[in-house]
Amino acid sequence: MSKRSTRLPMIVLTLLLAAVPLLGCEPKEITLALPGFGNGSIDGVWIWHLGSSGQYERACRLQLSDPQTMPSGTELLPYVQVCDSPNEVGMNMSAKVIRLSGDPSTIIVKLWYFRWVDPGQFKASAYNSAGESPLSVQTLTF
């Protein structure tokens, strides 16, 4: 692969991230520990926003796919953000997977979240076909 062809995706990504604030959203990186992911127990993550009512409301869903192992041995987790925003495009993204040595069914991932709602406090929950976990204990503010 030539240097030119490897630079193009980085340039496009840089331009895309530079244009995102103009579209009314803000990219944020969220680090999540997902216990049970290695056992197939998690299909995705809900991002919740603290609403004006004082209750957390669903903001967006991150649909997770099966991890893919790259030739280098690195595992990547493909995912897509799905929101109800009329401007949302449903961009395909991926994150590096870090497995805990003592518990390989638990993974740590840094996922990009494109915030369409007002700044504020956020929590997360995991979901699968059987239901949904409680909201995360930790609150993120952005």
Q: Following DSSP, what letter does each residue of 89-107 receive, concatenated?
A: ---EEEEE-EEETTEEEEE
φ, ψ (nearest 5 deg) of residue 19:
-85, -20
Q: 24 falls in which pLDDT band (50, 70, 90)?
A: low
Tokens of 98: 């870090």
Local confidence band at 4 (pLDDT 50, 70, 90 cut-offs): very low
Q: What is the pLDDT of residue 41?
A: 86
pLDDT digits (tens, 9 = 90+) for 34-56: 988 888 889 999 999 999 999 99
Going from N- to C-terminal start, the domains of the chain cover: 25-128
| Bridge-based pairing state of the strands 121-128 and 131-132 | antiparallel
The pLDDT of residue 119 is: 86
pLDDT at 3 (0 to 100): 42
Which pTM was predicted? 0.76
* 97 and 77 Cβ atoms separated by less than 8 Å: yes
CB atoms within 10 A of CB 12: 10
